[in-house]
Amino acid sequence: MSTTAKDAPERSRSFVALLCFAALASLVVIETEDSTIIVTVLLGGVFLGFVMLVLFGWMLSLFNSRIKKKYGRKSIRWIVNRGFLLLLPFTVLALIATIELGWEAAAAFASAGIMTSSTAIGVELTRLGSGKIRSTLLPAIGGIAMTSIWMLVISGLAVALRG
């Protein structure tokens, strides 16, 4: 099997996570009639989601060399991508709540999804033999940082574009 074929499920996992970030970002400005604003925030969500996933994986890689040695250098990326698949149900709930119910709760669903994904990553790190502090504290700190950055950047971008 080629390397490309092996990496296909991995790319699809990260693609799903990035789609979730895009959908959650666009829900912040969904009531806007200006399509330029919606597309800009959507692309901003994809970019910010990508940067956050890379930085989150990098942070975990720094402190989990035992897992990288035992399972390979791509193991942390696999854990992060698989953990962030948990954004999907939160994104679906946010879409239903915003479009059908008229709630303005996309940020709350995004925050809950990011923190749940971080927790799942911590559980997986523990299962694979990471230290208990490293596998609980680091994903929690990373999740809090990601949630804070997400809320500040996406809402700031939406406010700036609305004028």
Q: For 63-74, how does the pLDDT look when each residue is reduced to its tens digit (9 = 90+)? A: 888 888 898 888
Q: How far apart are CA 93 and CA 73, in angstroms?
A: 34
Q: Which pTM was predicted?
A: 0.88
Residues in the chain: 163
Write out the two tokens for 73: 């250098």
Q: Cα(60)–Cα(73) distance, rounded to whole angstroms?
A: 12
pLDDT tens digits for 97-130? Answer: 999 998 988 899 999 999 999 999 999 999 988 8
Cα separation, 115 vs 106, in Å, equals: 14
| Cα gap 148→93, rounded to integer Å | 20
* Residues 94, 112 contacting (CB under 8 angstroms): no
Sign of the Cα torsion 15, 20, 26, 30 reads positive
